[in-house]
């Protein structure tokens, strides 16, 4: 078959965009770590000399960094004055860690999978799994930085209210287990919003739990939070009003076994809340920009994590509603409902 030059050109354009994004990622992380975006946003229009002076960095590097950022569209350049600046939108997305569109956070996780790529290739070849804990440390921090803005924007205002009677219980004082809590971003947000309730975050990854404990101190929620190392099938407690799983059920080897344990740990009128990445039923429906992010994260992180554990179910980050429903029902839950969805997430509510 002859090569169609127009189609080849279109493919080259797409490649150039992808290559540009891939090579800009580390520069974005440098901008975050050295406070370059924050300094530029605060100072207003600045030359590379002025920004270097303000941030205690070498001007020669900043000349390159600023030009690269301007070419990427994360800062503006005025050729007349030779000054760089940021629009309100760029400043919001590049400097505000609480904004729903905090761009630098995502690149920590992306950086981690580049570092781990050869280990993942080996796992694909040998069929072995690769546990969450075996990844580069940037994955743990990156997950928190990437997911937390979405939790801040949705969890208290929309996701918890979408569950039957849960907010009322949380206001009065409820017992909550946040399983697979990672660095505890969701646990801490809930603990702040509902000071009369008690929250315990569980995760099998010791380092994440240590980070979560530190964050609980910084965020002033030690009074109503606790963080313990435990797996989803073995965490202690029998009388929870609410058990939450944020973006972690599909990472587990035995999600059905986890569901059974949740059922045993809940009060008879308790609720199991499961937040999973947004996905539609069929692969063809998920071939979108969001699906692209999730299928690749699933290959590089989620499926290897699940295959490293007992059972090795390998649900994947794009598990359909029907395959998740099968897991929930096999775990013993009779009332299963998708409560709400956003462009990035689905929220499921299960009752005994
Ligand atoms: C994608 S991260 C999500 C972390 C956190 N819930 C959040 O939203 O930021 C998945 C988490 O599941 C945890 N995990 C995986 N398998 C687990 C298991 N069997 N029991 C407990 N935690 C598990 C990992 O250690 C990791 O912290």
CATH number of residue 25's parent domain: 1.10.10.10
pLDDT tens for 60-78 read 999 999 999 999 999 999 9
Residues 138, 47 share a domain: no
User: What residues contact 342, with CB distance under 8 A and at least 6 apart?
Assistant: 150, 154, 158, 278
Interval 309-325: pLDDT, tens = 999 999 999 999 999 99
Q: Are residues 328 and 187 in the same domain?
A: yes
- Of the residues 74, 95, 116, the one at which a domain ends: 95
The CATH number given to whatever domain includes residue 307 is 3.40.50.150
Tell which atom from ligand 1 comes closest to the C-alpha of 252: 16
pLDDT at position 101: 93
Tell me: do 139 and 71 sit in the same domain: no
CB 44 within 8 A of CB 85: yes
Condensed to tens digits (0 to 9), the pLDDT of residues 285-295 reads 999 999 999 99
Which residue's CA is minimally distant from atom 2 of ligand 1?
Answer: 248
Domain count, the chain: 2
Residue 56 shares a structural domain with residue 169: no
214 and 143 part of one domain: yes
- Ligand 1 pocket: which residues have CB below 6 Å? 132, 143-144, 147, 180-182, 185-186, 203-205, 208, 231-232, 246-248, 251-252, 305, 309
Q: Are residues 116 and 87 in the same domain?
A: no
Distances (CA, A) of 172 to 168, 197, 221, 244: 6, 7, 17, 18
pLDDT tens digits along 231-261: 999 999 999 999 999 999 999 999 999 999 9
Averaged over 79-107, what is the pLDDT? 97
Q: Compute the distance from residue 75 Cα to the ligand 1 centre, in Å.
A: 35
The C-alpha atoms of residue 118 and residue 127 are separated, in whole angstroms, by: 14
Cα–Cα nearest to 273, from 231, 235, 242: 242
Tokens at 149, concatenated: 């803005």
What mean pLDDT is predicted for residues 133-157?
97
Q: Name the band, by pLDDT with cuts 50, 70 and 90, for residue 3.
A: very high
Alpha-carbon separation of residue 232 from 252, 263, 300 (angstroms): 8, 12, 22
Model confidence at 88, pLDDT cuts 50, 70, 90, reads very high
- Determine the distance separating the centroid of ligand 1 and the alpha carbon of 261, expressed in angstroms: 16
Choose the final residue of a domain: 78, 95, 112. 95
Band of pLDDT at residue 349, cut at 50, 70 and 90: very high
> pLDDT-based confidence at 12, cuts 50/70/90?
very high
Cβ proximity of 254 and 310 under 8 Å: yes
Does residue 175 share a domain with residue 61?
no
Band (pLDDT 50/70/90 cuts) for residue 270 is very high
Domain end residue (candidates: 67, 95, 123): 95
Per-residue pLDDT band for 210 (boundaries 50, 70, 90) equals: very high
Give the mean model confidence (pLDDT) for residues 142-146. 96
- Residue 338 is predicted with a pLDDT of 98
**Whether residue 230 is found in the same domain as residue 309:** yes
Task: Answer yes or no: do 89 and 129 share one domain.
Answer: no
Q: Which residue is it, tokens 């981690």?
A: 112
Average pLDDT over the chain reads 98
111 and 228 in a common domain: yes
Nearest atom in ligand 1 to 230's CA? 21
| pLDDT tens string 150-197 | 999 999 999 999 999 999 999 999 999 999 999 999 999 999 999 999
Beta strands 240-246; 345-351: pairing state: unpaired
Range of the domain at 36: 5-95
CA distances from 41 to 45, 67, 94 (A): 8, 16, 9
**Residue 146 pLDDT class (50, 70, 90 cuts):** very high
Q: How far is the CA of 177 from the centre of ligand 1 (A)?
A: 13
According to DSSP, the β-strands at 335-341 and 240-246 are unpaired
Q: Whose CA is nearest to atom 14 of ligand 1?
A: 180
Confidence class for position 5, pLDDT limits 50, 70, 90: very high
Domain check: are 73 and 116 in the same one? no
pLDDT at residue 17, as a whole number: 96
The answer on 339 and 294 residing in a single domain is yes
């Amino acid at each position: 078959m002859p090569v169609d030059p127009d189609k080849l050109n279109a493919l080259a354009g797409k490649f150039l965009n992808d290559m540009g994004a891939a090579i800009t990622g580390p520069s974005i992380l440098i901008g975050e770590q050295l406070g370059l975006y924050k300094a530029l946003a605060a100072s207003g229009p600045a030359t590379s000399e002025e920004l270097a002076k303000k941030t205690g960095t070498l001007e020669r590097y900043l000349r390159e960094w600023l030009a690269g950022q301007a070419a990427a569209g994360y800062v503006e350049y005025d050729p007349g004055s030779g000054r760089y600046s940021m629009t309100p939108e760029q400043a919001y997305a590049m400097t505000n860690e609480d904004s729903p569109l905090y761009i630098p956070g995502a690149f920590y996780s992306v950086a981690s999978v580049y570092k781990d790529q050869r280990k993942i290739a080996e796992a694909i070849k040998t069929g072995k799994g690769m546990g969450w804990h075996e990844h580069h440390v940037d994955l743990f921090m990156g997950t928190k930085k990437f997911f937390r803005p979405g939790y801040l924007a949705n969890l208290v205002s929309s996701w918890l209210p979408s569950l039957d009677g849960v907010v009322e219980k949380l206001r009065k004082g409820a017992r909550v287990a946040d399983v697979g809590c990672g660095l505890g971003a969701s646990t801490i947000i809930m603990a702040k919003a509902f000071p009369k309730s008690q929250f315990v975050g569980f995760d099998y990854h010791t380092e994440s739990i240590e980070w979560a404990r530190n964050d609980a101190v910084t965020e002033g929620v030690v009074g109503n939070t606790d963080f313990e190392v435990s797996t989803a099938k073995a965490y202690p407690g029998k009388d929870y009003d609410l058990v939450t799983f944020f973006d972690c059920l599909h990472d587990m080897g035995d999600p059905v076994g986890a569901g059974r344990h949740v059922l045993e740990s809940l009060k008879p009128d308790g609720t199991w809340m499961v937040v999973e990445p947004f996905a539609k039923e069929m692969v063809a429906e998920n071939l979108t920009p969001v699906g692209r992010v999730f299928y690749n994260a699933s290959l590089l992180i989620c499926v290897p994590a699940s295959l490293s554990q007992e059972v090795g179910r390998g649900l994947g980050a794009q598990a359909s509603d029907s395959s998740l429903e099968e897991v929930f029902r096999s775990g013993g839950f009779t009332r299963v409902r998708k409560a709400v969805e956003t462009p990035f997430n689905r929220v499921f509510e299960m009752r005994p």
